[in-house]
Every structure is written in structure tokens, then in C-alpha cells.
Amino acid sequence: MLIPSINNSLDELIELLNQLSKEEYLEPCFELSGSSIGEHTRHIVEMFQCLNRNYNSGIVNYDKRDRNKLIQTNTDFAIQAILDVKDGILKENKNLELHQMMDGIAIKI
């Protein structure tokens, strides 16, 4: 199952965030294409939030996700957001439709 693996990865992310200083969380990293750990954390969290929020409708569009800068600047807020994702992730398997814009073209998968 994917859920235990996802939960394990999210737990590891929380463990990492607990070890970082605010400066380390905000600092651009060469290894992350110049983005910070905070920016990557926000991206991860928002993808799961979007999935959880749109699960019932069956249509997921990551382009329309929330973009909460507090996730990328505050580790305590990010950790709480990850815990909220973990609380909402256990759902029954079902088919979902992914909507996305690529080069101005609407794509449905």
C-alpha cells in the first residue's frame, strides 16, 4: 500500500524539519536548483492538501492549489500542515482525474 510509505516519508520530513534552524529552512540550496528546503516543503504539502481537498469531487488540479508562504517560512506551521495531511490521507482507492494546463492546452488524465 502507498499510505504507509507516504506516512513514513512525511514522518521523515517532520524529523528533518525539527533539526533545521530557521536560517537553514529559508536558505536557497544549490542542490535544490536554488530553492530553499522551505519552498520544497511547501510544494510537497500543497500537493497533498490539494489531493485531500479535491478527493471527493474526483477532479484534482494542482495548478489551483493554495500557495501558503507560511509553510515555506515557518517550520512549526509546516509541521502542523504535514500532520493535518497525514490525518486526511487515509482514503479508499478510487479513480481520480487530473486536470492540468501545459503550454496553454488543458489536459485531462
Cα separation, 76 vs 16, in Å, equals 12
Tell me what percent of the residues of the chain surpass a pLDDT of 90.
77
72 close to 38: Cβ distance less than 8 angstroms: yes
Q: What angle do CA 92, 98, 103 make, to 5 degrees?
A: 165
Per-residue pLDDT band at 2 (split at 50, 70, 90): confident
Q: Which neighbouring-strand residues pair with 99?
A: 108
- In total, the chain counts a number of residues equal to 109
Residue 14 domain boundaries: 2-108
pLDDT tens readout for residues 13-60: 999 999 999 999 999 999 989 999 999 999 999 999 999 999 999 999
Paired sense of beta strands 105-108 and 97-102, if any: antiparallel
Domains contained in the chain, number: 1
Task: Please measure the distance between the N-terminal and C-terminal CA atoms of the chain and give it in whole angstroms.
Answer: 22
Q: What is the pTM for the complete model shown?
A: 0.88
pLDDT tens for 52-92 read 999 999 999 988 888 999 999 999 999 999 999 999 998 88
**1: pLDDT strictly greater than 60:** no
